[in-house]
Amino acid sequence: MSTRATKFTVALAMALAAPHALANPVQSSPAQATPAPAAPATPLDYRARLPQDEVIYFVLPDRFENGDPTNDRGGLTGGRDKTGFDPTAKGFFHGGDLKGLTQRLDYVQSLGATAIWVGPVFKNKPVQGAPGHQSAGYHGYWITDFTQVDPHLGTNADFAALVSAAHGRGMKVYMDIIINHTADVIQYRECVGQRACPYRSRADYPYQRRLGPNGAAINPGFAGDDVRTADNFAKLVRNDYAYTPFVPAAERRVKVPAWLNDMRYYHNRGDTTYRNESSTMGDFVGLDDLMTENPRVVSGMIDIFGDWIDRYGIDGFRIDTARHVNPEFWAAFVPAMQARAAAKGIPNFHIFGEVSDHEVRPAVLAQHTIVDKLPAVLDFSFRQAVVDTVAGTRGTDAFEALFDGDALYAHGYDTAVTLPTFTGNHDDGRFATFVRTAFPKAGDDEVLARVMLSNAMLLTLRGVPTIYSGDEQGFASDGNDQDAREDMFASKVAVYNDNRLLGTASTTATAHFGRDNPLFRQTATLARLRTVTPALTRGRQMLRAREETPGLLAISRFDPVTNAEVLLAFNTSTTALTRQVEIGVDATAARTLAGAGCGTVAAPGSLTITLPPLGFAVCALTSPR
């Protein structure tokens, strides 16, 4: 073992052996003892919790646990191109379902999670794609029936049982929903046989001419899609203004509710470029893009998703591809969902949209809480700051730029504290993968130390920490998208099973629901610390120290009632450091809650911090008052 590797092993051992304070402070080492299962909150407690009180666990049901092998093929017959089922291929159904997730709720709760974000459960088109490029709707984003659970995942009764079981444990359930598009059913005559269909703009292909400005007059009296009245859209009769859309005979009634089969309710302008006008009007990789400007689509989607609230009493929505829907839609949809939830006795219904962005640019995210009026968005800027600094070499001043941007959100910090934060996911890839890509010569001990440092940031800084299933088991993907959607149950996918996991000698060829991986133990410890420490859930933040190179980041968080201070200190460099960090002048001592390095109060307003390489410390400051 190299000298560098030895440094990281020592640092990791110090972090694992540090004392941890929970509801009843105990001296224990996560490296020596598995945390006891979290005591379920009483069913009456969970509704009162604010969004920022949660620790979210995100799971794709197909990749979690197979509770009922009889539904693996979704009731379909034939090969994988018909059923979508092939447990050996990363792009097809593997057999996980809602019964399996329900059976594993004890595992999820033992990790310290208080809420489950369930990937889309709606009935999907089983298989899509041109010959040779086919894959299945295992992920849930190719919906045909918005009212039913996909048969591969179970039944509506299975979903009801999942929600009931979670609520019985005091856990919340968030649904992943899609409004921007449906499955790829609509085809274009001009693009038959082609893999892509270029976007055609409103200027080049106006609504009142067929196939271009020189075409035959159609849709007389239509005043444009910015006049969002039922009377105006009733005049949009023809849908062949940009392309000639059609639906194959076998799929003409495949969508539910039935109104979704009417091609007038789609943009039909070809593939999005993800920029400019096409961002909200183009087909997302060929998926049928709904005309969300149309009042019929607005009322239809309100009915669809309001019904899921009414039927199951779910606790929130994560909205897929939210940035690709016009803002006016959200201005109508969000209040309607909040009203339905309130009528169901759900006062803190959490709605957060996906606004994918891969730079530390809070303004890009914040505009969607102001212009779109979304209550919250997934915090991609947080993810990027952690990637840049812990899986990269950017200075810790990246977090200054991140948190200064909190003022830009609607309602400022009050909104920022509700943003779900994450370090990796099913689309972008796992954090361990980012580390290995950035530091290809790093040994597994250093990679593990960096992942643990990212976990410490995720579970202590502002926002709502979101854990992607498998991260706690040391999963390290080959890349993003399909490569980062490994099975938690024993996998048969060769490109998953050859991955080198962290904290274990096993592979994804065996089931991973154990509680002895150091990443599981660390996550469980920090998650429980967070949920019993109001400063870490609802507390305001104050930046105490940052550097323009890898090194110290120090942030104080304050109890919203007592104003008691908790200092968070992180070392993103590969050398140990000792610093004086500013604190409140009333503090006289520091108690280590997690990690290692909380020193003594050297003078009023100054605490000595000593952190190992890639180490962290959570310090509760005490004062005589």
613 Cβ partners below 8 Å, 6+ apart? 7, 8, 11, 449, 571, 573, 574, 575, 576
CA dihedral (468, 470, 475, 478) in degrees, to 10, reads -60
Please tell me the distance from the alpha carbon of residue 402 to that of residue 405, in angstroms, as a whole number. Answer: 5
| H/E run at residue 531 | helix 518-531
Distances in Å between the Cα of 390 and the Cα atoms of 424, 481, 524 are 13, 22, 21
Identify the CA nearest to 180 among candidates 98, 92, 274: 274
Place of tokens 């989607």: 301
Is 354 annotated as catalytic?
A: yes
Among candidate residues 288, 354, 428, 446, the one labeled active-site is 354
237 Cβ partners below 8 Å, 6+ apart? 218, 219, 264
The vertex-244 CA angle with 239 and 250, nearest 5°, equals 95
- Pull the structure tokens for residue 451: 């992942």
Place of tokens 């086919």: 134
Indicate the SS3 state at residue 44. Answer: coil
Place of tokens 């709606």: 122
Among candidate residues 150, 158, 320, 559, the one labeled active-site is 320
AA letter at 426: H
Angle at which helix 327-343 crosses helix 295-312, to 10 degrees, equals 30
Is 357 annotated as catalytic?
A: no
- Residues 279 and 324 sit within 8 Å (Cβ to Cβ): yes
The vertex-178 CA angle with 173 and 180, nearest 5°, equals 155
CA dihedral (530, 536, 538, 540) in degrees, to 10, reads 180
Provide the CA 293 distance to its chain's centre, in angstroms. Answer: 27
530 Cβ partners below 8 Å, 6+ apart? 55, 112, 459, 460, 465, 536, 537
Query: Positive or negative, the Cα torsion across 44, 47, 50, 53?
Result: positive
- Residues 51 and 464 sit within 8 Å (Cβ to Cβ): yes
The vertex-179 CA angle with 174 and 184, nearest 5°, equals 120
Please tell me the distance from the alpha carbon of residue 86 to that of residue 543, in angstroms, as a whole number. Answer: 50
Q: Quickly list DSSP for 248-303.
A: -GGGTT-SBSGGGG-GGGB----B--SSTTHHHHSBBTTB-BB-TTSHHHHHHHHH
- Residues 423 and 383 sit within 8 Å (Cβ to Cβ): yes
Query: Positive or negative, the Cα torsion across 277, 282, 284, 288?
Result: positive
| H/E run at residue 552 | strand 552-558
End-to-end CA distance of the chain: 49
Query: Any idea which residues carry the catalytic annotation?
Result: 320, 354
